[in-house]
Structure 1
Amino acid sequence: MTYAAQVTSGVNSGVRMKNKLTSLNVRNAKPGRHFDGGGLFLIKTKSGGNWIWRYSYLKRVREMGLGPFDAVSLSAARAARDGWAAVLATGKDPISERERQREAEQAALNKEAPTFSDIAEIVFESHKASLRGDGDRGKWFSPLRVHVIPKLGQHRISEIHQTDIADTLRPIWKTKHPTANKAWQRTRFIIQQAEYMGYDCKPFVADAARVMLGKVDHKTENVTATPWQAIPALYRSIAGVSSPKLCLRWMMLTCVRSAGCLGARFDEIEGSVWTVPADRIKGMRNAVQDFRVPLCDEALRIAEVARSVDDSFLFPSYRKRGGHITEAALRKELAALNEAGRPHGFRTSFRTWAEDTDQPWDVAETVLGHQIKGRVERAYARSDLLDRRRIVMDRWAAHVTASSADVIELRR
């Protein structure tokens, strides 16, 4: 035992103590505390035991764990005590110094071989600038957060094997295949980006995992849509001036996706044209632009009714002050009417009506915000067909409202 251990241990200071334990003592020790000297002792239990070093720092007694007795021998425990006693002799607190060393070692390890979770966060932060709503609206990160990170998050990116990915996704590969496929795509993308960063990993492990998971005979189900012939009856049945009711009618008349309609604001309407901002239009950021929507007389009446409730959002939330309603409110409204069709399905209702009634194909596609020309053609033909769309949408509105003179029922 070193002199430093004797002097700084806080136990029998200044007195050279004889070691009291032997390897045989340690092996046969009964439950309790067994002192070795210099502040070192063994706490033995029925199921195991731990080495403890007691010392004094700034007049405060502290106890430092040196490891389990079945993994750390008596001689190793004494050597550890002597080493930390030397640190104490320099004026540093051994426990704080050990924590600092561990943090430094962990930081070095993370820099050399970060975890999947670390890389996923870095990749998302750098990638989300190209995603709509910084990736939140499309929930780009959600499949990873829910299905991958809980199992793979703490794995070193360089140590992930194809079996790890396969085992992670196998529980949902067949039952929730669209979600599982997104999780796989994101996982592969993150590993690929990590390789570009210079880490020792290969996207091959994700490809191999997909082979291990096998093919899935998944049939994509289309969103349930109300037949266009039933739209007038549905429109009349949505009576009242609550935000969900008005929003459903607005969606039927404008054929704009729910993300665009839910957050509609009065300052986006100028005359009889509603301009949906690019950040509420489907598509990659910088790949979409503001979309003008010609409003029929019925839509303008809806806006007038909505303005009597709020002066910012057309369809404000009654629960979230200063916000707008959610799609869940729309679905709840349709469920109350036993309507199987979904809000997004109104776009299908319109498109089928346009096809069955021989409306111009290019105009009908533009109403839905679809691109109808190649990249080069679009560079020259830049018209959004607003005037032609107004004609078609007025025809659609006449069908939706069944040419009724008063279809807004002002009752709650």
Structure 2
Amino acid sequence: MPKIVTPLSAKSVQSLQHNGVGRKTMHPVGVVDGLYLVIYETGSRSWLFRAMLNGRRRHFGLGSARFVTLAEAREKAKAWKKLIAEGIDPIASKKAVEERRINFADAVDLFSELELQDVKEKERKAWRSSLNTHIIPWLGKRDVNTITSLQVAEVMKPLWIEKREMAKKLRIRLDKIFVWLKAKGYRTDDSPAKWADLKP
């Protein structure tokens, strides 16, 4: 059986060091099996996800720890683990998505044009108004494939406190857009606007 790793906090991860042996030290950080913080003898730190795909051990880099937080690395590892369980190579899937890169503002335009044609004018305007006011100023220029649940939560938190009903409607609209983006090949991961991920 695989060894159970005690989940480390962000503070504990920051305190991890190279052990002085070899070019790099790999520290399991818990929550997702196979997720490691790799610390090189030079002092640089990065995230690594190890998993079995089609009978082979594969290593997937998840980015520098300078730019990717522990929570973001766990979120990405969970998403890639799900793809692997379905027999999908995350790297190949990511390359396919990169060929169809689009920012969120353009994605909203495309979604509105293709999916809201049969929606009443009043509702269509409500969709666009809520997104233009509360989301696009902060996420509009971001590649839809890089947007995380943490980013969505950060943007929506003030609205959730001040206008709860509007926040609920907006989250549902965001979720529908991101599910559509994944189905159309613009995004690798599941929707970052799922309630189960935003609620905490």
- TM norm structure 1: 0.23
Higher Cα Rg, which structure: 1
Q: Which has the higher contact order (CA 8 A, sep 6+)?
A: 2
Instruction: Report the structure, 1 or 2, having the larger strand content.
Output: 2
- TM norm structure 2: 0.46
